[in-house]
Amino acid sequence: MTKSASNQSASNILDIFDFTDPIKNVYLYVLKAGIATVDECTLKADPQADRTEIKIYLDILVRQEYLEKYKDGDIVKYKVKGLKRKAREVPNDIWEMLEK
């Protein structure tokens, strides 16, 4: 896959999310960081936004079930909610099929 094709498919994936750019930037930061606090998002995801705006964006993402919010001691942290996939079923006659 070429670099431009890779960038194009990445932008198509992000188009699935109905986010405005500031919310998308916060989501992508948490996705990249793995776990993030409001202050980390304020500094790195959208430095032009204030802490209150970032908190609102994070709460929107939690309500829409894109992020999980949890407490680590006294600190509130956010992480991307894991996508649940259905387990794959392996046919009982897999070996017979492979031998053909």
Q: What are phi and psi of 98, to 5 degrees?
A: -70, -30
Range of the domain at 61: 16-82
pLDDT over 90 percentage in the chain? 46
Residues paired with 77 in a beta bridge = 37, 70
pTM score, two decimals? 0.65
pLDDT level of residue 1 (50, 70, 90 thresholds): very low
Tally the domains of the chain. 1
pLDDT level of residue 86 (50, 70, 90 thresholds): low
* Burial zone of 88 (CB within 10 Å; 0-12 exposed, 13-18 middle, 19+ buried): exposed
CATH of residue 72 = 1.10.10.10
pLDDT over 70 percentage in the chain? 73
In-domain check, residue 45: yes
Block residue for tokens 């999310």 = 17
Residue pair 62/76 in contact (Cβ under 8 Å)? The answer is no
In-domain check, residue 87: no
In-domain check, residue 42: yes
DSSP 46-100: -TTS-HHHHHHHHHHHHHTTSEEEEEETTEEEEEEPPPP-PPPPPPTTHHHHHH-
